[in-house]
Amino acid sequence: MMEASTALELLLKGMEPALEEINFKASPVEEAEGKLIAAYAGEDGTLRLELFDDKAALLFSPRPPEEAEEGDFARISLSLLELEAATEKDCKSVAEDFSEEVVRRLRKRKPGAPLAPGKKPPKSISKSAIKNGDAYYDALSFANSFTGIYPELRAAYKENYEKYGEFLAEEFFLQHGNAAVLATIRQNDALAMRRLFSLLNDVYENGVNEVQSLVTVTILGVLENDEALLAGCVDYMSKDLAPVVIRLNKYLASPAGKKARAQLETPPPYKPKKEKKPGLFQQLLGGGGNPGMPGI
């Protein structure tokens, strides 16, 4: 297990070039309310890097450190960083993401001006906003959290967005993400499984319909009703997610699910956005939120 102080040291080391570029200077590391906090001050305001609860957060205030109060800080990025399994590579990946964010937002920013709106795919979603019901996971925020677990897929995630000007979630998971998920499930390492299903359970519970479909159909629907694989997942799935995944796998493996399975394995080619029709997940559940999946 990596110590929090070691993880913070690796994050700060990885961010040094970016912080030098925007001319932000470090203050001593502090510990408060279970968080390790490193602050950086510059002409534009104050950056704060916080490490807590297996997460790394980057915050910004337009005020100098001596004037900045807790309510002045806005979170501009958040990444998962589970210390029990974290490696130097994980820390480097988070540091690279945070570095891109601070340079993009602050390099050309005039002192006192508001932060520039993001032009890249959103990197995070506020856990407090989700818990309060003010926000839900969409495909982009789900993929961002997913690549926090599998940082080797971040390049593919960004390439997908840059290629189409929007994020094609099914293509990303079918071509890249599912292989990583299946490898984790087949290895059945307890720590890796807890980490994966902690995210999938959370996203299924707090995601929009499109994201629920990604979890149940696109990702876990490819287990092909394999009893051994499903049995290995049951202990990690929530009580809401498990029965849906089991029923979907049974349905997709049945003669009645042949067409749906073919649609999943070979999605239609990309076309510009039009008015959305109910997806496979909504069709299987009846389209309007009422269960309509064939009895199995």
- Tally of domains within the chain: 2
pLDDT, position 287? 46
Q: Is residue 292 one of the residues assigned to a domain?
A: no
Alpha carbons 58 and 18: distance in angstroms, whole number = 13
Cα 243 versus chain centre, distance: 24
Can you list the residues of the chain whose pLDDT is less than 70? 107-135, 260-296
Same domain, 140 and 235: yes
Q: Tell me, what's the pLDDT at 293?
A: 38
- Do residue 78 and residue 132 come from a single domain? no
Give the domain-ending residue among 75, 106, 137: 106
Give the per-residue pLDDT at 20. 87
In this structure, the answer to whether residues 161 and 278 fall within a common structural domain is: yes
CA of 132: how far to CAs of 124, 127, 135, 272, in Å? 16, 9, 8, 34
- Global pTM reads 0.52
User: How much is the pLDDT for 246?
Assistant: 92
Its domain, for residue 170, covers 127-284
Q: Are residues 188 and 235 in the same domain?
A: yes
pLDDT score recorded for residue 119 = 42
Alpha-carbon distance of 44 to 41, in angstroms, equals 8
Residue that is last in its domain, among 42, 72, 106: 106
Reported as a single tens digit per residue, the pLDDT across 140-174 is 888 888 998 999 998 898 888 777 777 888 889 99
- Given a contact cutoff of 8 angstroms between Cβ atoms, the answer to whether 230 and 246 are in contact is yes
- Examine the domain organization and report whether 99 and 151 are in the same domain: no
The answer as to whether 294 is a domain residue is: no
Intra-chain end-to-end CA distance of the chain, in Å:
44
Instruction: Note the pLDDT of residue 239.
Output: 92
DSSP the chain: ---HHHHHHHHHHHHHHHHHHTT-EE---EEETTEEEEEEEETTEEEEEEEETTEEEEEEESS-TTT--GGG-EEEEEEE--TTT--HHHHHHHHHHHHHHHHHHHTTPPTTPPPPPP-SPP----HHHHHTTS--B-HHHHHHHHHHH-GGGHHHHHHHHHHHSS--HHHHIIIIIHHHHHHHHHHT-HHHHHHHHHHHHHHHHHB-HHHHHIIIIIIGGGGTT-HHHHHHHHTTS-TTHHHHHHHHHHHHHSGGGHHHHHHHHSPPPP----S----HHHHHTTSSSS--PPP-
Looking at the structure, do residues 70 and 140 belong to the same domain, yes or no? no
User: Are 136 and 37 found together in one domain?
Assistant: no
